[in-house]
Structure 1
Amino acid sequence: MFNRKTHWQNIYQEKSASDVSWYQSEPKLSLELILRTQIAKDEAIIDIGGGASVLVDYLCNNNFTNLSVLDISENALATAKRRVGDLATQIEWIEADITQFKPPHQFSLWHERAVFHFLTEASDRQLYVNVLKNSLRAGGHLIIAAFAIGGATKCSGLDIVQYDSEKLIAELGEDFKLIAEKSEIHITPANKEQKFSYFYFTKKSVP
């Protein structure tokens, strides 16, 4: 039986963070969309599946002070902690499977690049959406990036689900309003092209 945690622990044990296909030296589009939200520097931001991503470094450099990084892999989080050095003590590190995550508090911004598209079972996607709704405050911001329609069909040896806005809205339900959609051609460390779509939503306030 497939074990998600074991899979990702092994990936980050066998490869350096800069060798995995999703590695970005600069998360330009994520940062652009986060800055577009204009949230205050002290509002709570969580990076889902952030692992060894350098997004948290860029957020620190932009003076955001209330940061959390969640990943299923302890190895990925350890890599990020070593990289950011002394700043690690100012960041909330969470080792968890997102489908089982119980938020310790609510967040103003949920960022996630390349996690949701790995959830090929409808039941796992529903668990993810339930956690998202419980974690994000009313009026909060949601940024999700996933493989685009016509892009990759597998990643890290696993099947994925491709998304456009219509397909993602159907998964998220009526609690979220689409604000923007962006496309990106990601160049992997192996110099291959991957089509990504980025979606920026806000969570509707309760009437």
Structure 2
Amino acid sequence: MPNTTEHWNKIFAAKADPELGWYEGDASQTLRFLEGIPHLESATVFLPGAGTSVLVDELLNRCHQLVLNDISDAALNKLKDRIQDNGKVVWLYHDMSKPLPKDCPLADLWIDRAVLHFLLEEPEIEGYFDNLRAVIKDGGFVLLAEFSPDGAPRCAGLDLHRYSAEEMAYRLGSQFTLIRQERFNYISPFGDQRPYIYALFQRRNSD
């Protein structure tokens, strides 16, 4: 099988956004989870697996700074061509299972709807959560939207690690408190139902 970057670059190069199996023209499900987060207008938001999501456009109008990460440079290049970042974006082409660059900005909010469930090996998953804990500030928030235990076992031709809110909480660790969780049935552009778990956590202050 090609390496992960090759796999995703082929998909993003071959298809227009509405043809992608995970395309979502309306980001309201995610935005509803952000309504109670204070001072969003001054927040730095980290999006692992930003892809070409319309969520980016919404967040540009709501937040101070975005860190947009993807393992696909083809996806990031398409996104760069589409948005006007006005200096608000830090672009990060990086494998989220590997340690982040030392100059990576700290974040008030982490939103993942696209990366965690594709990591299958324990060292990859542990590396991901190490990065998350290194980046999120005290009092910051984490929104994880992952394939639920009864969801599809594969996506985009790849196997998935499906999550419950309990497993998310366990892997985040005792520093994080579950604020809210919700099951969500995503309907793909082809009419398929894909059950997700959305879970919002907050990091407690270290003092």
Give your verdict on TM over 0.5: yes
Unmatched 5+ stretches in structure 2 = none
* Alignment check: 8 A CA contact 1:114 1:147 kept: no
Residue-by-residue CA offset, 1:43-65 (whole Å, 9 max, x unaligned)? 21111101101111011233x22
2:41 alignment counterpart: 41
1:194 alignment counterpart: 194
Deviation for aligned residue 1:11: 1.4
Residue-by-residue CA offset, 1:57-85 (whole Å, 9 max, x unaligned)? 011233x221221111111111112221x
1:149 alignment counterpart: 149
Unmatched 5+ stretches in structure 1 = none
Residue-by-residue CA offset, 1:134-165 (whole Å, 9 max, x unaligned)? 01111110001000121100001111011111
Alignment partner of 2:9: what SS? helix
1:173 alignment counterpart: 173
Deviation for aligned residue 1:170: 2.1
Q: In the aligned structure 2, how far is the partner of 1:47 from the partner of 1:114? A: 9
User: Which residue of the other structure, out of 85, 88, 107, is the alignment partner of 1:87?
Assistant: 85
Tell me the TM-score normalised to structure 2 length. Answer: 0.93
Q: In the aligned structure 1, how far is the partner of 2:12 from the partner of 2:167? A: 30
Deviation for aligned residue 1:2: 5.1
2:74 alignment counterpart: 75
Deviation for aligned residue 1:98: 1.0
Alignment partner of 2:19: what SS? coil
Q: In the aligned structure 1, how far is the partner of 2:206 from the partner of 2:64? A: 27
* Matched-pair identity in %: 29
> Which residue type is aligned with residue 199 of structure 1?
A
> Which residue type is aligned with residue 99 of structure 1?
S
> Which residue type is aligned with residue 92 of structure 1?
V
Aligned length: 205
Q: In the aligned structure 2, how far is the partner of 1:95 from the partner of 1:67? A: 14
Deviation for aligned residue 1:204: 1.8
Alignment partner of 1:5: what SS? helix
Moved over 6 A (4+): none
The answer to whether residue 119 in structure 2 is matched with residue 99 in structure 1 is: no
